[in-house]
């Protein structure tokens, strides 16, 4: 680390250019880069302070998955459809005006939808799963006024006969680096079970039986990275 009068320096300028890193004998002795990363997996509302040094915010938002459809009683049996995965988005905020105004970020992690119940009604119609809840981030001024918001809708609950296995959203081979989130060319998916559509249940053929309930959808997931100097 470079120090002047015992204090670490915060900025190096050479020929009018802001130098991001200084290396001496293959040792990095100075870096202007800063990074602070936060992950949110617990459903509900969270509040995050925006650091005054941040010049960009990168994020990924995964909404809650829909619950799978539940089966009833039908002589032909059959499977019920899975819920849809919640929507998802990768993004970057670099607008200087927005970053200057924003002091807090409201983070909301959407819950997965409940699966449709298993029933005993004599019908070929399944019981619909509940929709997953939205996930969002909202940049706010100190007054609470919204500066910028990103909202991702939850996945629809299953409601037909069909494929029973749910899935999650996956970003394949991203086109650029989102600092602190994912590097260019890499894949990004949520932690296991997050954002996933709940598996569908099944119809019973038993004359007095009850169909299998659908599974609950996966809760959402949000990751936010503040950075400067990248």
Q: Are 158 and 83 in contact (CB under 8 A)?
A: yes
Of the ranges 2-6, 73-77, 111-115, 127-131, which one carries the lowest mean pLDDT score?
2-6
Mean local confidence (pLDDT), 80-84: 98
More confident residue, 12 or 166: 166
The number of distinct structural domains making up the chain is 2
**Domain range enclosing 89:** 34-230
Please indicate, yes or no, whether residues 43 and 142 belong to a single structural domain of this protein: yes
Please indicate, yes or no, whether residues 66 and 11 belong to a single structural domain of this protein: no
Please indicate, yes or no, whether residues 15 and 128 belong to a single structural domain of this protein: no
At residue 165 the predicted structure's pLDDT band, cuts being 50, 70 and 90, is: very high
pLDDT at 2 over 60: no
Alpha-carbon gap, residue 94 to 81, rounded angstroms? 41
Distances in whole angstroms, Cα of residue 22 to Cα of each of 14, 95, 115, 118, 145: 11, 28, 56, 64, 40
Please indicate, yes or no, whether residues 129 and 204 belong to a single structural domain of this protein: yes
Please indicate, yes or no, whether residues 75 and 13 belong to a single structural domain of this protein: no
Please indicate, yes or no, whether residues 10 and 121 belong to a single structural domain of this protein: no
Global pTM?
A: 0.87
DSSP-assigned states of every residue in 110-171: PPPPPPPPP---B-SPPBPPPPPPPEEEEEE-TTS-EEEEEEEPPPPPP-SBS--------B
Mean local confidence (pLDDT), 64-82: 96
Please indicate, yes or no, whether residues 226 and 188 belong to a single structural domain of this protein: yes
Please indicate, yes or no, whether residues 19 and 51 belong to a single structural domain of this protein: no
Please indicate, yes or no, whether residues 28 and 40 belong to a single structural domain of this protein: no
Neighbours of 51 (CB within 10 A): 14
Distances in whole angstroms, Cα of residue 42 to Cα of each of 64, 111, 120, 212, 226: 11, 9, 35, 28, 20
Please indicate, yes or no, whether residues 83 and 94 belong to a single structural domain of this protein: yes
Please indicate, yes or no, whether residues 113 and 145 belong to a single structural domain of this protein: yes
Q: What pLDDT was estimated at residue 9? A: 59
Residue 81's closest CA among 189, 220, 199, 210?
Answer: 199
Please indicate, yes or no, whether residues 19 and 74 belong to a single structural domain of this protein: no
Q: What pLDDT was estimated at residue 194? A: 97
At residue 172 the predicted structure's pLDDT band, cuts being 50, 70 and 90, is: very high
């Amino acid at each position: 680390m470079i120090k002047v009068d015992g204090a670490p320096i915060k900025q190096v300028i050479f020929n009018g250019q802001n130098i991001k890193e200084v290396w001496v004998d293959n040792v990095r002795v100075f870096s202007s880069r800063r990074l602070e990363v936060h992950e949110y997996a617990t459903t509900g509302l969270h509040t995050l302070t925006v650091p005054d040094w941040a010049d960009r915010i990168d994020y990924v938002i995964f909404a809650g998955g829909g619950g799978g459809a539940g089966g009833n009683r039908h002589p032909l049996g059959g499977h019920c459809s899975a819920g849809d995965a919640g929507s998802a988005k990768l993004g970057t905020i670099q607008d200087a005006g927005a970053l200057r105004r924003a002091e807090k970020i409201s983070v909301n992690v959407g819950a997965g939808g409940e699966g449709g119940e298993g029933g005993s009604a004599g019908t070929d119609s399944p019981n619909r799963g509940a929709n997953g809840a939205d996930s969002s981030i909202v940049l706010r001024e100190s007054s609470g006024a919204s500066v910028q918001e990103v909202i991702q809708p939850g996945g629809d609950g299953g409601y037909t006969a069909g494929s029973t296995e749910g899935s999650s959203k996956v970003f394949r081979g991203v086109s650029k680096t989102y600092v602190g989130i994912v590097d260019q060319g890499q894949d990004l998916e949520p932690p296991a079970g997050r954002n996933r559509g709940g598996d569908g249940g099944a119809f019973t053929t038993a004359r007095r039986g009850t169909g299998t309930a659908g599974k609950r959808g996966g809760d959402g997931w949000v990751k936010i990275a503040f950075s400067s100097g990248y």
